Amino acid sequence: MTVLVTGGAGFIGSNFIFFMLGRYPGYRIICLDKLTYAGNFTTLESIKDDPAFRFVKLDICDREGVYGLFEEEKPDIVVNFAAESHVDRSIEDPEIFLRTNIIGTTVLMDACRKYGITRYHQVSTDEVYGDLPLDRPDMFFTEDTPLHASSPYSSSKAGADLLVMAYHRTYGLPVTISRCSNNYGPCQFPEKLIPLMIVNCMNNRPLPVYGEGKNVRDWLYVEDHCKAIDLIVHKGRVGEVYNVGGHNEMANIDIVKLICRELGKSDELITYVADRKGHDLRYAIDPSKIHGELGWLPETAFADGIKKTVRWYLDNRTWWEDILSGEYRERYDRVYVHR
């Protein structure tokens, strides 16, 4: 079985590759990644010589390059993590989000149609549903919640989801979609809430909380997301959407205070800053479908997951210091190109 993982040098994709190599020793895993600012080859360096693994530096929008790779590798399964993924960046500059998240998805699915695959899986997000009120804890996103995206990022992901379902209906492409809540864990780029706060806290720098810090996110340890995708790809029903989330809602300010406590720092580092434009209030997933059909349940409790995550950033200082200094950008060239 050959699995093509796009965006595998990013946060969730890299965790997924390590998970799959451990779980399926007979599988061949191909990672296709453009290595944008968010893609870090250092994360995958330990497996670069593993015969079961191949890394290809490529843009999912590069039709000729993508077709060439499909011709060569004939993947059975494609799992598309490749995306521009940061809401704040999408507010600054939406266009690249439309290109990668929508056009790129289309190019990948065209390649799947042309060369044939058994499954195309789109890694989507709960943000396509928009947000929920803070004062209605009884409300959750189900797979039937209408798409109502708020930001350029989530709109581009919603557009891609519509195209995935259109390719299923129009061309019979065997697709599945997962819509997961906020992930946290090792190897997350330090621009997202949890790693940014850990790194700033370790450096005694201000912790910028948007607005009043009351917005709520539903946090899931990244390995639990990887396990959900594995189940969906192997056992999920074609043409279906599966929501993934662990009923772990927390206000941003509580997360930041918890990180301060974990690192033995005072709350004085917390700085309230201007709110994000159009800031979604609350996300909360109803995971009954994936639980009922595939038996998935999250395995890592937040109290344990956040300790493991803080520990990882303490133990892997070079990983994020190289990111902050820009050093990681040249890593791939040094390891693969100029050696």
Q: Binds 298, which of ligand DAU, ligand NAD, none (CB < 5 to 8 A, cut-off by type)?
A: none
Q: Shortest approach of ligand DAU to residue 152 CB, angstroms?
A: 12
What residues contact 58, with CB distance under 8 A and at least 6 apart? 32, 33, 34, 65, 66, 69
Which is catalytic among the residues 127, 131, 223, 230? 127
How many angstroms separate the CA atoms of 190 and 23, rounded? 28
State yes or no: is 62 an active-site residue. no
Q: Which is nearer to ligand NAD, 210 or 265 (CB)?
A: 210
- Selected range binding ligand DAU among 24-32, 97-105, 106-114, 210-218, rule: CB under 6 A: 210-218
User: Which residue's CB comes closest to ligand NAD?
Assistant: 10
Q: Shortest approach of ligand DAU to residue 182 CB, angstroms?
A: 4
What residues contact 140, with CB distance under 8 A and at least 6 apart? 132, 284, 285, 286
Give the dihedral of Cα atoms 204, 15, 185, 233; nearest 10 deg: 150
Q: What part of residues 74-93 is at the interface with ligand DAU (CB under 6 A)?
A: 85-87
- One-character DSSP codes across 159-195: HHHHHHHHHHHHH---EEEEEE--EESTT--TTSHHH
Determine the 3-state secondary structure of 56 from DSSP. Answer: strand
Q: What part of residues 233-252 is at the interface with ligand DAU (CB under 6 A)?
A: 252
Query: With binding defined as CB under 6 A, does residue 10 bind ligand NAD?
Result: yes
How many angstroms separate the CA atoms of 55 and 75, rounded? 14
Q: Which is nearer to ligand DAU, 70 or 141 (CB)?
A: 141
Q: Lay out the site mask for ligand DAU across 116-135 (x = CB under 6 A, - = otherwise).
A: ---------xxx--------
Query: With binding defined as CB under 6 A, does residue 94 bind ligand DAU?
Result: no
How many angstroms separate the CA atoms of 192 and 182, rounded? 10
Local structure of residue 101 (DSSP, 8 states): I
Q: Shortest approach of ligand NAD to residue 213 CB, angstroms?
A: 18
Give the dihedral of Cα atoms 328, 183, 305, 26; nearest 10 deg: -70
CA distances 307 to 52, 98, 184, 216, Å, are: 31, 36, 11, 20
Q: Lay out the site mask for ligand DAU across 158-197 (x = CB under 6 A, - = otherwise).
A: -----------------------xx---------xx--x-
How many angstroms separate the CA atoms of 299 and 228, rounded? 11
Determine the 3-state secondary structure of 61 from DSSP. Answer: coil
Please say whether the beta carbons of 267 and 257 come within 8 A: yes
Q: What part of residues 11-40 is at the interface with ligand DAU (CB under 6 A)?
A: none
Which is catalytic among the residues 153, 167, 184, 221? 153
Q: Shortest approach of ligand NAD to residue 187 CB, angstroms?
A: 8
Which tokens hold the place of 310? 């803080």
- Selected range binding ligand NAD among 33-41, 208-216, 248-256, 318-326, rule: CB under 6 A: 33-41
Q: Binds 81, which of ligand NAD, ligand DAU, none (CB < 5 to 8 A, cut-off by type)?
A: ligand NAD
247 conformational bin, left if phi > 0, alpha if psi -120 to 50, beta if neither? left
Query: With binding defined as CB under 6 A, does residue 226 bind ligand NAD?
Result: no
Q: Which residues are catalytic?
A: 126-127, 153
Residues binding ligand NAD (CB under 6 A): 6-7, 9-13, 33-36, 38-39, 59-61, 81-85, 100, 104, 123, 125, 157, 180, 182-183, 189
Residues binding ligand DAU (CB under 6 A): 85-87, 125-127, 181-182, 192-193, 196, 208-210, 215, 217, 252, 276, 283
